[in-house]
Amino acid sequence: MRLRRRLRRLHGIARAAVPDAVRRTYERTYPYSWLGILADVPPSCDELIYARGEDGFALHSMRSPSVSRLYLQVPNGTDPADWSDERIWDELDRRFAVDGDWSLARGPITSKSVTPMRSHVTEPMRYGRVFLAGDAAHIVPPTGAKGLNLAVSDVQVLARALTHRHRTGSDELLDSYSDLCLRRVWQATRFSYDMTTMLHSQPNESAFDGRVHLARLHRLAASRPAAAELAANYTGLPLD
Ligand SMILES: Cc1cc2nc3c(=O)[nH]c(=O)nc-3n(C[C@H](O)[C@H](O)[C@H](O)COP(=O)(O)OP(=O)(O)OC[C@H]3O[C@@H](n4cnc5c(N)ncnc54)[C@H](O)[C@@H]3O)c2cc1C
């Protein structure tokens, strides 16, 4: 019962209006989660830092000039209560450790939560007069920072189609809404999958797979075309 309520919260109520016989869902649950914190401390760096180490992934990001947002890869099922503030900062320090004089600034932690890493796509995104947009239709793991961007893009496409219908009486753009959005959604899903698998250490990862993920990272750091391809996906795909 709790799981059903949680899924309804994740996907919204409109999705259930698409009959089971029509609706197709594609899902992947990653074998790890993110422990996320908000801390009252200015960001330690102007840039995001994505770190991949043997003990797992860590991300440094910022909410505002005085509030930092940081994440640690943790096993699924982790209870945030098991992570004291000191344990979190120590683990972040270990995962961000670099040669040189940079260090992570610590401050009071004001929020702790665990986010499972999952991908989910519902097709089609339109059934009759029901149009799905954003997380109601698709979830991506936050590694690629795509979820909100995808939601806004869906709404842009839908707004354009509704305006067209209002002005011309034509359903043409409404009819193409689902296919058009799903092309972009699958590209973002693929990008988020690539980022997630490249940057996290997998439980029971073979030595071979670990080296392949590292090779992908080295390629990104060394090759301008490879970095440009990542940047093009990261900054956003065209609406159509
Ligand atoms: C830890 C984490 C980090 C993330 N980082 C990023 C990032 O860096 N970049 C990015 O682009 N995305 C990120 N995302 C994803 C992003 O937050 C979501 O993809 C985005 O908020 C989806 O927007 P939405 O409008 O579809 O859904 P939501 O933001 O969930 O909005 C749906 C709204 O509908 C309301 N609602 C639900 N049911 C009802 C109802 N029955 N009646 C009335 N109201 C209802 C909800 O309360 C909610 O306010 C992150 C997500 C997580 C969990």
Our count of domains for the chain comes to 2
**DSSP3 helix / strand / coil % (the chain, rounded to 5):** 45, 25, 30
Probe target for ligand 1 pocket from 33, 148, 189, with the most ligand atoms within 8 Å of CB: 148
pLDDT at 124 over 70: yes
**Span 58-77, pLDDT tens digits:** 999 999 999 999 999 999 99
Asked whether residue 46 is domain-assigned, the answer is yes
- pLDDT bin (cut points 50, 70, 90) of residue 1 is very low
CATH of the domain at 17: 3.50.50.60
146 lines ligand 1 (CB under 6 A): yes
Q: Do 84 and 24 belong to one domain?
A: no
Q: Positive or negative, the Cα torsion across 87, 92, 95, 96?
A: negative
**What is the rounded CA–CA span in Å between residue 160 and residue 166?**
10
Structural domain that includes position 83:
31-116
pLDDT of residue 5: 54
Asked whether residue 240 is domain-assigned, the answer is no
81 lines ligand 1 (CB under 6 A): no
Q: How many residues does the chain have?
A: 240
**Span 133-183, pLDDT tens digits:** 999 999 999 998 999 999 999 999 999 999 999 999 999 999 999 999 999
Three-state SS sequence of 121-186: EEECCEECCEECCHHHCEECCHHHCCHHHHHHHHHHHHHHHHHHHHHHCCCHHHHHHHHHHHHHHH
Asked whether residue 221 is domain-assigned, the answer is yes
Q: Do 7 and 103 belong to one domain?
A: no
Residue 120 pairs in a beta bridge with: 27, 139
Rg (CA), the chain: 20
Q: Whose CA is nearest to atom 6 of ligand 1?
A: 145
